[in-house]
Amino acid sequence: MNISAENICAKTPFLGMTHSDLVDLCQQAGVKPVHADHLVATVFRYYQSDIDAISTIPNILKTYLAAHASMFEPECTAAQLAADGTRKLVLKMADGKAVETVLIKGANRLTQCISTQVGCAVGCTFCLTATAGLSRNLTAAEMVSEVWAGQKISGGQVSNIVLMGMGEPLHNYHAVAQFLEIITDAKGMAFSPNRVTLSTSGMVPAMYRMLEDKWPCNLAVSLNATTDAVRDQIIPINRKYPIATLMQAVRDYIQQRGNKRVLIEYVMLAGVNDSLDDAKRLCVLLDDLHCTINLLPFNAYPGAAFDRPNDAAVSEFQAVLVEAGLIAIIRQSKGRDISAACGQLITSIKKRNDSGRL
Ligand code: SF4
């Protein structure tokens, strides 16, 4: 009667089911819909993977689930713990593909950074994940399984979710929509939408679509440049959706979400986008915009084509923004004593595998 990981393709992955999917499933099994609440609460809030062990649902439902649903937990194949408490995990999915997820400790929060794709097709030139291209999209169930793994290893302490790991979330629209529905369901994982943030490199049409679809999350935009000439070079999608188009989409988003604050991410690359002229142009671009700016000094990795700016340059850049009345925070990367850049742990494992040393 166990829900097994076998034949997962033929069965519906349990972790990808929304509450309404489970209500339908209860009806098909001939039991009361209220059992969907028990299932969602036990599996999504108490991380119970053994359906047989759930005492609040009838046996007929367990039998039906065993025949129609699969329960898959990714295998954690590598883990690193930094001195500051940042924990990085590599999770292997059923087909052997691996993604990274990171648990970042804050003063009174634990934020989990989720991957939405295996690799990424956007091709940002400063990003290690981009170097291998896109392998495939993750399913909603696989993204939920990342949260599961994070909650299990932290004893249920994850309080915030950011979709800022491997992949461009808006390139995987349907699965991400389903993932957001599952994790913010008040009867299930119950993350407040205010504690969930999706970051995009600037997929303008999909930004309007997520607005129309009322996605339950905050928006972050990875801007990283103040001129199209530079942004074209470091984020190729800018050639399709240049800065003016992107900023108009951000303004429309803020306005239509009732003046909701947006996060502007700015990865600082030495000698590329970190000048005081850049800072001044950024002030003009973000003038009157209801936003917080995260300044992220580049996380260098072996073979990177860019350097991290020095601390003085970062502080001077921040000062220009602050003097202009903007909220700008320097985010020192967490976990700098481990493979801190996105995709770095997986890349190092692959390299070791390729050279037969693992
Ligand atoms: S920075 Fe994000 S969007 Fe750009 S290539 Fe890397 S994973 Fe993709």
Tell me the per-residue pLDDT of 221-271, one tens digit each, with 9 for 90 and over: 999 999 999 999 999 999 999 999 999 999 999 999 999 999 999 999 999
Q: What is the number of structural domains in the chain? A: 2
Rounded percentage of the chain residues whose pLDDT exceeds 70: 91
pTM recorded for the entire structure:
0.92
337 pLDDT exceeds 80? Answer: no
Ligand 1: does its nearest atom lie under 6 Å from the Cβ of 124?
yes
Q: Which residues span the domain enclosing 49?
A: 12-70
Q: Of all protein residues, whose CA lies closest to atom 6 belonging to ligand 1?
A: 127
pLDDT of residue 338: 62
Whether 306 and 347 map to the same domain: the answer is: yes
Determine whether 100 is an active site residue: yes
Determine whether 217 is an active site residue: no
CA 49/CA 340 separation, integer angstroms: 31
Q: Please state the rounded mean pLDDT for residues 149-165.
A: 95
pLDDT category, 358, cuts 50, 70, 90? very low
Whether 217 and 257 map to the same domain: the answer is: yes
Q: Please state the rounded mean pLDDT for residues 69-93.
A: 93
CATH at 47: 1.10.150.530
pLDDT 10s digits, 11-47: 899 999 999 999 999 999 999 999 999 999 899 888 8
Residue written as tokens 């209500």? 23
Whether 189 and 305 map to the same domain: the answer is: yes
Instruction: Answer yes or no: is 7 within a domain.
Output: no
Whether 236 and 291 map to the same domain: the answer is: yes
pLDDT of residue 353: 58
Instruction: Answer yes or no: is 28 within a domain.
Output: yes
174 pLDDT exceeds 50? Answer: yes
Pick the last residue of a domain from 36, 53, 70: 70
Indicate the top mutation candidate among 100, 113, 116, 122 to test ligand 1's pocket, ranked by most ligand atoms within 8 A of CB.
122
Residue written as tokens 């993204």? 143
Ligand 1: does its nearest atom lie under 6 Å from the Cβ of 168?
yes
Q: HSE (CB half, 13 Å, CA atoms) of 135?
A: 17
Tell me the range of 46-55, 157-166, 325-334 where mean pLDDT is highest. Answer: 157-166
357 pLDDT exceeds 50? Answer: no
pLDDT category, 351, cuts 50, 70, 90? low
Rounded percentage of the chain residues whose pLDDT exceeds 90: 82
Instruction: Answer yes or no: is 153 within a domain.
Output: yes
pLDDT of residue 349: 64
Pick the last residue of a domain from 70, 89, 118: 70
Indicate the top mutation candidate among 124, 268, 269 to test ligand 1's pocket, ranked by most ligand atoms within 8 A of CB.
124
Whether 166 and 277 map to the same domain: the answer is: yes
